[in-house]
Amino acid sequence: MSYLAVKHAHMMFALISITLFMLRAWLAVPSPARINNKLLKILPHVNDTLLLALGVWLAVQSQQIPFGNSPWLTAKVIGLVLYIVIGTLAIKRGKTRGQRLGAALASIAIFAYIYGAAVSKSPLSWLAL
């Protein structure tokens, strides 16, 4: 597979990931019990596994090493961990509707930061453009 094909697949899975997150958050903010659909529980994990696998493939192919020679990729990895932790508050761990809503909005902002870091190839994200 060519680098460009993998890059575009990675970008497609990223778009699917945020779309699924927003759908799940829209359902979960009022009440986490609203997410009972088995597909909505499994599909995001399959998609995100593919997203991560392709991201690792891209990093290896381009010889970009997070926490090494690539500060923008380091920023993406740190952002990803934050996105996952805050996202779990939005989808299932938030105790109140307000906590879940705040976590959902924060997760979307973190995703935008990650995307900006990828586009700009800078940990400054959108500020570097």
pLDDT at 59: 96
**Residue 67 host element (H or E):** none
pLDDT tens-place string over residues 11-25: 999 999 999 999 999
Statement: residue 33 has pLDDT above 90: no
Phi-psi region of 96 (alpha: psi -120 to 50; beta: other; left: phi over 0): beta
Two tokens at 126? Answer: 């959108």
Domain boundaries, position 21: 3-128
To 10 degrees, what angle do helices 97-120 and 3-28 make?
170
Number of domains, the chain: 1
pTM: 0.93
Confidence of residue 129 (pLDDT cuts 50, 70, 90): confident
pLDDT tens-place string over residues 57-70: 999 999 999 999 99
Confidence of residue 1 (pLDDT cuts 50, 70, 90): confident
Confidence of residue 105 (pLDDT cuts 50, 70, 90): very high
How deeply is 125 buried, as exposed, middle or buried, from its count of CB atoms within 10 A (0-12, 13-18, 19+)? buried
